[in-house]
Amino acid sequence: MEITKSQIGSLIIEGKTKQVYNLNGADHKNHVYVLSKDRITAGDGVKSHTLEGKSILSTKTNCAIFEYLNAIGIKTHFVSRVAESNPDYQKAFVAKKCEMIPIEWVSRRVATGSFLKRHPHIKEGHRFAPLKLETFFKDDANHDPFWSEETLIGAEMNIGGLLITEEYVREMFQITNLVFEVLERAWQTANHSLIDMKIEFGVAEENGIKTVVVADCIDNDSWRLWPNGEKRLMLDKQVYRNMDNSKIDAEALNLATDGTKYAPSVAIVVGSPSDKDYAYKIRDQLNHKYGVHNVDVHVSSAHKGTDKTLKLGARLQQWTSTKAVIAVAGMSNGLGPVLAANVPIPVISSPPTTDVSVLSADIWSSLRIPSGMSTATVLGSDQAALFAANIVANSDAFVWATIRTVQAYNIVRLIHATL
């Protein structure tokens, strides 16, 4: 995003590691300019020194992570990087204007660090599944005291005109868990273990609606990261003392995101051209909802063109990128079973109808099949797309994260649902 010096307005707030400025102009009335500083701190700010280049590395990591979170559908304050025409473009970004909630939300996969000091009977290396979630009130003078869930709810904080009720507390716990899980999966693609991390939330307003969003910065100050799961190789605050190693932050997240360019594909095979619209619905769901690209649609009838169907199967199985095949056939489904018997790829049969009278006559051709083959049967284009996406997700961190985000926000909607 193009941001000139004249557009940078008054200083809103300055923290230990960054400055936040208003932005001038009608297009930016709800945006702020966040500028990182070459400062590294520890011990609630007691230890602090200048580390040249830290602001650039921090911004690079932060932008890569928030772009990833935005891409998979998580609500955040991040808007964009700053265009290169700005002299400080490497250490600044544009964000939504929001009121910060003064709580650090910590998620832990492995017991280490300060957790062991507070829980001396737990051995270092103990794994938490599900994640261990903790919250701390931001107060440097009192060393960020621990707050229980009950304390959070009882505090009845009003942030930017939004009362933080029990429902919002539960939402933030849900999203804290989600952010850790999707970043953990992304780091695994680079053979790195995410041990623990902290995030913060803010209240942003868009079109008159106040929303809780993931905010602040997420960089090497925010986590413990162990390459190959080894503590001695940790990549957290200490990494800033080795500039070359810190490049791994953005590059590893880009690895997970760039994988979508070569995402494992799904092949949809329809038994008749009349079923193409149903197939296109599945393809659109895979593309736009779950981030599965390179979805091919083929026409082949197992009954009327068995040889063509077998040749198609041979073409599909030559590529390791083909992770699932969806067979769309209505009357007397032979397509799914024929593909399942001849192609060593998961096959999903999805009849292009939900008409009970039609299904009652033909569904058994999908359910009762000979031994030596296996096919799942799914009704509805949405369900077929999700089933295929789940298969792809086992080998694609981006698709896995996208599905996990959809699931988490389904829970959030139920948390806020009223009768």
In terms of C-beta distances under 8 Å and separation of at least 24 residues, what long-range contacts does 226-231 make, across chains too?
226/192, 226/193, 226/195, 227/191, 227/192, 227/193, 228/191, 228/192, 228/193, 229/193, 231/112
- The fold of 5-96 is Phosphorylase Kinase; domain 1 (3.30.200)
From the number of C-beta atoms within 10 Å of its C-beta (0-12, 13-18, 19+), residue 129 rates as exposed
Kindly tell me if the per-residue pLDDT of 253 is higher than 90.
no
C-alpha 218/C-alpha 247 separation (Å) is: 15
C-alpha 189/C-alpha 253 separation (Å) is: 9
- Give the containing element (helix H, strand E) for 269: strand 265-270
Q: What are the CA-CA distances from residue 405 to residues 71, 72, 81, 395, 400 (Å)?
A: 10, 7, 23, 17, 9
pLDDT of residue 22: 96
Answer for the pair 118, 150: CB distance below 8 angstroms, yes or no: no
Segments making up each domain of the chain, as ranges:
5-96, 98-259, 264-395
Comparing CA positions, the residue from 230, 192, 208, 217 lying closest to residue 20 is: 217
Query: HSE on the CB side for 118, CA within 13 Å?
Result: 8
- Better pLDDT: 371 or 348: 348
- CATH class assigned to 264-395: alpha beta
Mean residue pLDDT of the chain comes to: 89
pLDDT of residue 47: 52
C-alpha 255/C-alpha 44 separation (Å) is: 33
Exposure string of 223-244, with b = 16+ CB inside 10 Å and e = fewer, is: bbbbbeeeeeebbbbebbeeee
Kindly tell me if the per-residue pLDDT of 287 is higher than 70.
yes
- CATH class assigned to 98-259: alpha beta
Q: What are the CA-CA distances from residue 228 to residues 3, 220, 241, 262 (Å)?
A: 40, 17, 20, 25
C-alpha 39/C-alpha 50 separation (Å) is: 5
**Edge-to-edge, what's the strand order for the sheet holding 322-328?**
296-299, 265-270, 322-328, 347-349, 376-377
pLDDT of residue 353: 81
Of all residues in the chain, the percent with pLDDT exceeding 70 is: 89
pLDDT in tens, 343-362: 999 999 999 987 777 777 77
Kindly tell me if the per-residue pLDDT of 25 is higher than 80.
yes
Work out the average pLDDT over 77-85.
97
C-alpha 340/C-alpha 193 separation (Å) is: 37
Minimum mean pLDDT range among 64-68, 227-231, 336-340:
227-231
Minimum mean pLDDT range among 355-364, 391-400, 402-411:
355-364
Alpha-helical (H) ranges within 149-233 are 149-155, 166-188
pLDDT in tens, 101-149: 999 999 999 999 999 999 999 999 999 999 999 999 999 889 999 999 9
**Residue 155 corresponds to which tokens in the numbers above?**
């505090």
- Better pLDDT: 248 or 173: 173
- Better pLDDT: 345 or 244: 345
Answer for the pair 213, 202: CB distance below 8 angstroms, yes or no: yes
pLDDT in tens, 178-235: 999 999 999 999 899 999 999 999 999 988 999 999 999 999 889 999 987 777 666 6
